[in-house]
Structure 1
Amino acid sequence: MFNKTKLQNGVHLYIRKTKQFKTVNVTIKWKAPLDQKKASERTVLANVMENSTKQYPTLSSMRKALDELYGTVLFTDVSKRSSQHMVSLYTECVNDEFFEGEDIFKQLWQLIRSVVFDPNVTNKAFDPDVTEREKRNVRDRIRSIYDDKTRFAQKRMLEIMRPDHPASISAYGTEAAVSEITNESLYATYEDMINNDLIDIYVVGDVDEKEIIEQIKQFLPFEARDAAKQNDLQDVKVSDSVNTVREKQDMKQGKLHLGFHTPVSFRHPDYHKMQITNGVFGGFAHSKLFMNVREKESMAYYANSAFASHYGIVYVTAGIDADLEEKAVKLILEQLTALQNGESTEVELSQTIALLENSILSANDSARSQIEIYDQYKELDESFTAERLIEKWESVTLEDIKEMANTIQLEIVYLLSGKEDVSK
């Protein structure tokens, strides 16, 4: 799918030459060990880099530069994966063949170079006005979770279930850590990221690979770095007893979240089997949770499950009336018990496989999605293709689902409900 070129130690280029798109997508990913304080700094830094450079110091000048390149897109984002924090720079421009003589792609490289190597810095400090503006924006983003009670309940469940662990650390950091950022500390974070992070560069489009390599060497001269410095996840000691936690806020609908642990994680040979098992359990509209908890019993406004594969966690989220907590938990666990007893059907299995196949194949319609999927799965196999994963899914049996379900153990029941509910 992608051809790999080692540019420097710790710096790799992945090119997918394809006529599928009329645009060319260039994505750069900086990867470093996940840390709460550093996550805050890196999130603000990503915002600053996107919106202000030495050449384009204001939002309006940056937007004008993009508009002049026929609506070229440039933005940043942060995320986490396992014990890794990632800052991503996404760009996309029209292919030069549609604008002969314009050399838009070369201008894109120049713009990327400006963002990466020529930030809006004076005396090793970022512009104070820009820094404060982006600190406010990041704080607002972090605070927004408090208005989304489902996200907040999930956050609290993970904090209780895995305190001070990558599973519960936000990719955005914390409000407190953001507030402590200075123009100087942000520049130190920038230098650390540019010089020490592992870097993956992706290019997707109808391009000349040799030309791309030469352009990157010219415009993005990253130096070699230590490729072995990434943190591995530490083993977690899990209690045999189930932790039940109830918290209250001003709200109406109760948010019931159940956290389960499993030894099957992303790098486990049975990973693909657990993906199918989660789909049958609660991943889709035909799943046992949706059909029995929501539809048949009308116990929940919504009910679904997800598999956080990098952390070996399966979790269930349900919107319920708080006084139905006990009944809802019982009904949810009955669906897992059914799977553990082998009570899944060929129809459930085939529907799950079909929906997972459709999901990964439809992602192929977007260059960015191709990059994101490959960036994750290349950790397992650098020759990864969607077809190979589909073959694994199609090999899963009902007995495999039973086996996987029996590795899933309840660890925590968390309920967030309204303050007016005093029955608990």
Structure 2
Amino acid sequence: MIQEEEVVQGSGLDVHLIPTAKYKTTTLVLQIKAALTRETAAKRALLASVLQSATNDLRSRKQIRLYLDDLYGAAFHTDVQKKGENHIISMRMEIANEKYLKEAPSLFHKSISFLQHALEDPYLPDGKFAEKVVNEEKRTLKQRIQSIYDDKMRYANKRLLEVMCEAEPFSIHPYGEVGEVENISLRELTDEYRRMLEEDDICLYIVGDMEPEEAKEAASMFTLDPDRKLAARSSAVNHNSRTQPREKIETDDIQQGKLHLGYRTPVTFSDSRFPALQVMNGLFGGFPNSKLFINVREKESMAYYAASRYESQKGIILVMAGIEVEDYEKAVAIIKEQMEDIRKGRFADRDVEQTKGMVKNQLLETTDNPRGLIELYYQGRNADHPRTIKEWLQAVDDVTREDVISCAETLELDTIYFLRSKEDNK
């Protein structure tokens, strides 16, 4: 049975309950959304880590860990991500469902109380975050950013978006840059935290065997101002329509070339054509039966990997391939040819049906995980276009080959980015 969400209006905080007896745990996720900006990305990424490290009652990671251990091994984690041109801080807890424990304390009540304190009552000695805590989290965040540079496929993807979307918020990495992290002062971080409470869109997702009344109780424990004025949010807008694709070639200390292409489309999550573009991307490079995988990787044997990913909150399809430097021009030509084949309808009906089945299976597999289930529903909230899982599956089922061709015709190749070894630079 597919779980559907129920929205409980709270005082300053909406609670999205997805009731299910499928899991023996309860998952709680606070989603905190602001516009993605160069000025705030690093601050918010650092803020997410600091809020995980100390509350006014529990002033170190060790104290927090011991407290969570007492809650039957509850887990608590924070992170940041971008969805379209919005920046999301996620604060997650996973707790045992007390219905399955003998003589358990009120785990749900205690966990919501902890989450509320982590958000609204952090450790602020002298009205600012603690210097020791902030410095520790700065080191960790800088290491996380550095790991992107060490993983050349992730780095190439980062550079593609920076080149392709240079004048757009989507070019900004959700962690910010190392230099930006280093320069954040305690006062700036505290000011960003207070702005977050006053202006960000904050909601709570709960997945577990729970009644709406319990969700209402959770909402009532937060003290966010119900009359606070939320800041304007970003919506996906495609810019820089080019008459010719931009080409950018850079060098690095690598063995294998990283070829990344960026296509733009006006079809985003909120568009009725979104399920058809999901299927089109699956046919293009999303699955092992895709054209990129079969024709670039298998038949031509010129790519160590070849795949595509659809950024539906923005309207971008990203192609990623690992190739030898001498195969650059041939690989670009073959990738373009696969897209042209879809535009011309050069694929079998059975390919569409097989891909539709894979898209639906992927959706259903995602619903098997509480965090995945929350992610699916939150996409609809972020795009201001709620879509139930049942509606989503039916929409995929209804996709025709004509829909796939029509979606392919909306795509425009915007940028070609190639990262290759310094030795091969002529």
Q: 1:370 aligned to 2:348?
A: no
SS at match of 2:9: strand
Matches of 1:78 and 1:199, distance apart in 2 = 14
Q: Aligned to 2:397, which of 394, 397, 406? A: 394
Q: Aligned to 2:210, which of 192, 207, 211? A: 207
1:134 counterpart residue number: 137
1:348 counterpart residue number: 351
Matches of 1:422 and 1:127, distance apart in 2 = 48
Q: Aligned to 1:105, which of 105, 108, 129? A: 108
2:40 counterpart residue number: 38
SS at match of 1:76: strand
What code does the residue aligned with 1:168 have? S
Q: Aligned to 2:153, which of 150, 154, 160? A: 150
1:193-220 C-alpha deviation (Å, 9 max, x unpaired) = 1222111111121223213312431x31
SS at match of 2:176: coil
Residue 264 to residue 283, structure 1, CA distance change in 2 (3 Å)? same
1:307 counterpart residue number: 310
Residue 278 to residue 60, structure 1, CA distance change in 2 (3 Å)? same
2:186 counterpart residue number: 183
Could you tell me which runs of 5 or more consecutive residues in structure 1 were left unpaired when the two chains were aligned.
none
What code does the residue aligned with 2:7 have? K
Residue 104 to residue 375, structure 1, CA distance change in 2 (3 Å)? same
What code does the residue aligned with 2:49 have? N
Q: CA deviation at 1:140?
A: 0.9
Q: Aligned to 1:119, which of 119, 122, 128? A: 122
Q: CA deviation at 1:410?
A: 1.5
Contact 2:238 2:266 in 1 (8 A): no
Matches of 2:31 and 2:403, distance apart in 1 = 36
Q: Aligned to 2:414, which of 411, 414, 420? A: 411
Matches of 1:313 and 1:102, distance apart in 2 = 48
1:332 counterpart residue number: 335
Residue 380 to residue 29, structure 1, CA distance change in 2 (3 Å)? closer
Residue 337 to residue 383, structure 1, CA distance change in 2 (3 Å)? closer
Q: CA deviation at 1:290?
A: 0.4
Deviation larger for 71-80 or 258-267? 258-267
Residue 136 to residue 239, structure 1, CA distance change in 2 (3 Å)? same
1:68-91 C-alpha deviation (Å, 9 max, x unpaired) = 111001111111111211111101
Match runs of 1:162-311 below 5 Å: 162-217=165-220, 219-224=221-226, 225-227=228-230, 229-311=232-314
TM-score, normalising length from structure 2?
A: 0.95
Residue 158 to residue 292, structure 1, CA distance change in 2 (3 Å)? same
Residue 131 to residue 363, structure 1, CA distance change in 2 (3 Å)? same
What code does the residue aligned with 1:183 have? L
SS at match of 1:310: coil
What code does the residue aligned with 1:52 have? A
RMSD: 1.7
1:30-62 C-alpha deviation (Å, 9 max, x unpaired) = 111111221111111111111211211122111
1:49 counterpart residue number: 51
Residue 101 to residue 405, structure 1, CA distance change in 2 (3 Å)? closer
TM-score, normalising length from structure 1?
A: 0.95
SS at match of 2:126: coil
What code does the residue aligned with 1:21 have? Y
Q: CA deviation at 1:137?
A: 0.7
Residue 215 to residue 391, structure 1, CA distance change in 2 (3 Å)? closer
Matches of 1:261 and 1:419, distance apart in 2 = 30
Count of aligned pairs between the two proteins? 421
Q: CA deviation at 1:235?
A: 4.6
What code does the residue aligned with 1:220 have? F
% same residue = 35
Contact 1:37 1:173 in 2 (8 A): no
Contact 1:36 1:174 in 2 (8 A): no
